[in-house]
Amino acid sequence: MRIEADSILPYSRDVVFRAYRDDLPKVVEFLPNVRSIEVKKRDEAGPVTTLFNVWHGGGEVPAAARALLDEKALSWDDHAIWDESKHQCDWTIHTHAFTDAVTSKGQTKLIELAPDRTPSSCAASSRSI
């Protein structure tokens, strides 16, 4: 399955890029289904930054249901390669549960329309059985 989503943000491409790459854990308060994002590893080589983040979901899952699910079912690894020279990110997600049944990878591109208008385009492919 291929999924695409576009949005236009009222900020410059550089500001949006740095926020997506560097400040993702700070936006958790605006993501009702995410409890936290842990930055596990960050490597920088010129314009390329490689990140390994662990996402912990289940924010709006009822407490009774969450008690029946273990942490693995609500967490996933996010491996991302951010290239500032291209203003894009190639990413892969690995779930902690059902690892053979679910795969997801994609690319996020930022294109500047004007100094304060940046469309964010995200295309992803997923497989689940």
Q: What is the pTM of this model?
A: 0.83
Per-10-residue mean pLDDT, the chain, length 129: 83 91 92 91 98 87 68 86 96 89 88 77 60
How many other C-beta atoms can be found within 10 angstroms of the C-beta atom of residue 16?
A: 19
Domain ranges of the chain: 2-128
Residue 56: what pLDDT?
Answer: 92
The continuous run of DSSP H or E covering 48 comes out as strand 48-57
Residue 15 and residue 119: Cα distance in Å, rounded?
12
- Select the CATH number that applies to the domain covering 2-128 from these four: 3.30.530.20, 3.40.50.2000, 3.10.20.600, 2.40.30.170: 3.30.530.20
Q: For residue 68, give every residue at least 6 positions away whose Cβ sits within 8 Å of its Cβ, in sequence order, or none.
A: none
